[in-house]
Amino acid sequence: MANCVFCRIVAGEIPSTKVFENDEVLAFRDIAPQAPVHVLVVPRKHVDSVQGMEEAGVAAALLRGVAAVAEKEGLKSFRTIMNTGAESGQTVFHFHAHVLGGRKMKAMG
Ligand code: 5GP
Ligand code: ZN
Instruction: Quick: pLDDT tens for 24-35.
Output: 999 999 999 999
Q: Is the pTM of this model over 0.95?
A: yes
Within a domain: 74 = yes
Pocket test for ligand 1, best of 26, 50, 92, 98 (most atoms within 8 A of CB): 92
Tens digits of per-residue pLDDT, 37-74?
A: 999 999 999 999 999 898 899 999 999 999 999 999 99
Cα gap 60→98, rounded to integer Å:
15
The total number of structural domains in the chain stands at: 1
CATH number, domain with residue 30: 3.30.428.10
Within a domain: 107 = no
98 is catalytic: no
Question: Which residues, listed in sequence order, are joined to residue 27 by a DSSP beta bridge?
Answer: 20, 41
Which phi and psi (to 5°) does residue 97 adopt?
-115, 135
Q: Which domain holds residue 47?
A: 5-101
